[in-house]
Amino acid sequence: MADGGTCFMIFLILLNTFGAAASLALFALAIWVAVDGYELYPISGVSGKDDIFAGAWIAIFTGFAFFCTTVFGILAVVKSSRLLVLLYLILMFIIFIFECASCITAATHRDYLVGNSNLVKKQMLKYYADDSFAGQQITVTWNRMMREVECCGADRPQDWIDYNSTFRMTYGTTYPWPQQCCKRLSSFEVADVEGCKAGLASTLFTKGCFDHIESVFSRYTWAVSWYGFSVLMFMFWLMLLTMGYYLKI
Amino acid sequence: MLTILLFVGTLLNHANADFDTDVLNEKDGVVSGILSDSVLLHLPPCSFQGQNVSLQYTINNTVDTWTLENIFTVPPCEKTTGTEGNSLVTRRIGYKVSDLASGTTYRFQFQIGSNKSNTVLATTKAGQHYSGIDTGLPARSGAMVVITVILSVAMFILMVALTITIVLSNDED
């Protein structure tokens, strides 16, 4: 009986240690998302659907809180104190709720943003070359992205022709699309200005930018939402086992 | 009857033409041959090289006509685009008719001396306003539903288990 009790205690200590490591990883992953190495935050910020990043901030908190609480849980289990274990369970439950919120909103906002290319396309047409603060942010983001990823438009360059845009109203129809759509030489000059203006496919980028945007936001969401979900599933079983231990003490 | 007339009409259009032209499309290496204020047309065949070309265009079903005299000379027969070493070389592959009204149907016809091309019918892009793009939630994806359902169930089970644990421990006291 005592051996069974000790076995259970050691098992719980091991589980709590594993939980501490997993939640520290969640903390680190959430920091990576919040830092936004791909610098695409303005696309979600301007649209108002930025809960992927809000979820990341919450996950920074919950990841670290889970770590602290599981370490406390090891102490509570070793001391076999009912009060401490009950306190541990209640703390874990509260953090569980916060992490649930983070997972769900991150997954939902990702679907709003990049479920299809409409929102990104409309935002590009409305805000690119706009003078407002939001417009400047979007313009800088798109310029960098078009240069680095070598893409043009949301789905394809024709997006600039099929729709009216702030860009066309500001600069007229001399250039059907921004100059960042044009291929450049290693000296940074445009390779063929006239060819790019005419739409010669070999002088501009014909790939759409939406694929890149979608893959980046999906990557962030898998980090915050799905990894957070797996941590929660682990903590769920850990908490059930701890409740069983509580009844045994 | 109408189909036969249209077919014969098209045949006659090309039959009367001394040479053919058409709007450029993706197969010719351009992103789009039809823009909102311009249209890209194929050059006349290089057998007419060196000769002056004029263009006449009208708005379909009206009498408004524009004639551009001697706008360019037909280039000689050689490769139109390619790379030479490290540089990108572009030669002319088409003629751009500019300053057109958007969303309008035009008829274009080249003329070289006494030779005329077929009449090309093209409508410039109307340029939809971007506010017409529907940005509502595309669909309820599996991810949302799965995460919410599973987490709600887990939360419920935890709540019940916690309550039972506290109640049972109080009963023992």
DSSP A27-96: HHHHHHHHHTTT--HHHHHHHT--HHHHHHHHHHHHHHHHHHHHHHHHHHHHHT-HHHHHHHHHHHHHHH
Please tell me whether residues B156 and B97 are part of one structural domain.
Answer: no
Per DSSP, the residues of B62-93 read: S--EEEEEEEEEPPPSS-SEEEETTEEEE---
**For residue range B65-80, what is the model confidence (pLDDT) as tens digits?**
888 888 888 887 775 5
Given this model, what pLDDT does residue A199 score?
A: 86
Given this model, what pLDDT does residue A38 score?
A: 94
Alpha-carbon gap: A116 to the closest alpha carbon of chain B (Å): 7
Alpha-carbon gap: B1 to the closest alpha carbon of chain A (Å): 36
pTM score of the predicted model: 0.86
Please tell me whether residues B48 and B13 are part of one structural domain.
Answer: yes
Mean pLDDT of chain B: 82
CATH of the domain at B30: 2.60.40.10
Alpha-carbon gap: B83 to the closest alpha carbon of chain A (Å): 10
Torsion of Cα atoms, A83 then A243 then A2 then A78, to 10°? -50
Quote the tokens at residue A219: 């990557």
Please tell me whether residues B99 and B160 are part of one structural domain.
Answer: no
Q: How far is CA A105 from CA A22, A50, A98, A181, in A?
A: 21, 9, 11, 34
The number of folded domains in chain A is 2
Given this model, what pLDDT does residue A40 score?
A: 95
Please tell me whether residues A103 and A166 are part of one structural domain.
Answer: no
Contact A119, A134 (CB under 8 A): no
Number of H helices, E strands in chain B: 2, 9
Contact B56, B111 (CB under 8 A): yes
Cα distance between residue A118 and residue B130, in whole Å: 10
Q: Under DSSP, is residue A159 helix (H, G, I), strand (E, B) or coil? A: helix
Which of A232, A240, A239 shows the shortest CA–CA distance to A99?
A: A232
Domain that holds residue B13: 2-128
Please tell me whether residues A86 and A165 are part of one structural domain.
Answer: no
Please tell me whether residues B156 and B119 are part of one structural domain.
Answer: no
In sequence order, which residues have a C-beta less than 8 Å from that of residue A249 and are 6 or more positions away? A80, A81, A82, A85
The number of folded domains in chain B is 2
Q: How far is CA A229 from CA A59, A100, A125, B20, in A?
A: 11, 8, 36, 64
- Does the residue B133 lie in any domain? no
Cα distance between residue B89 and residue A191, in whole Å: 10
Find tokens 């309820």 and name the residue: B140
Mutate to test the interface with B, among A96, A114, A164 (most CBs of B within 10 A): A164
Please tell me whether residues A228 and A108 are part of one structural domain.
Answer: yes
Instruction: Find the closest chain A residue to B100 by CA distance.
Output: A173
pLDDT tier for residue A92 given thresholds of 50, 70 and 90: very high
The neighbouring-strand residues paired with B97 are: B39
Alpha-carbon gap: A200 to the closest alpha carbon of chain B (Å): 4
Cα distance between residue A54 and residue A220, in whole Å: 12
**For residue range A137-167, what is the model confidence (pLDDT) as tens digits?**
999 999 999 999 999 999 999 999 999 999 9
Please tell me whether residues A104 and A71 are part of one structural domain.
Answer: yes
Lowest mean pLDDT segment, chosen from A28-32, A133-137, A216-220, B83-87: B83-87
DSSP assigned state of A61: H
User: Which of A107, A173, A243 comes nearest B143 by C-beta?
Assistant: A107
Cα distance between residue A208 and residue A195, in whole Å: 19
| Residues of chain B contacting A168 with CB distance shorter than 8 Å | 127
pLDDT tier for residue B6 given thresholds of 50, 70 and 90: low
Please tell me whether residues A35 and A83 are part of one structural domain.
Answer: yes
Q: What is the ipTM of this complex?
A: 0.86
| Residues of chain B contacting A237 with CB distance shorter than 8 Å | none
In this structure, what are the phi and psi dihedrals at residue B56, rounded to the nearest 5 degrees? Answer: -125, 130
Domain that holds residue A36: 3-115+214-248
| Residues of chain B contacting A49 with CB distance shorter than 8 Å | none
A87 vs A4, more confident: A87
